Amino acid sequence: MGLEKNINCRIQEAFEEQREYIPRLEWTNGTLYADVDFEQDVKLIKEIMEDYTGYGVQTSLLKATDVEPWDQWAFDITGEVANA
């Protein structure tokens, strides 16, 4: 199983255990996009990705637009060691 699928599985498992929903996850060019609304959900995804890869993860909020009327978060794996 590839990196993206493994991370998706870990995120889905964590959300099944801790939340009442599983966010929609989509990868594009090495960036994970997730439809989550709460800061605690962003933190959970970031921690899972950092724990799995060993690298830091940068998060960015993409605000809603007229075309896509929902907020979305982007998660980019950096080249820096996590928690260094």
Residue spans per domain, the chain: 3-81
Q: In this structure, how many other beta carbons lie within 10 angstroms of the beta carbon of residue 37?
A: 13
Structure tokens at 4: 């993206």
Closest CA to 58 of 42, 39, 38: 42
CA angle 30, 2, 7 (to 5 degrees): 70
pLDDT of residue 33: 96
Query: Mean of the per-residue pLDDT values for the chain?
Result: 91
pLDDT reading at 83 higher than 80? no
Confidence of residue 84 (pLDDT cuts 50, 70, 90): low
| pTM of the complete model | 0.90
The dotted CATH code for 3-81 is 3.90.1150
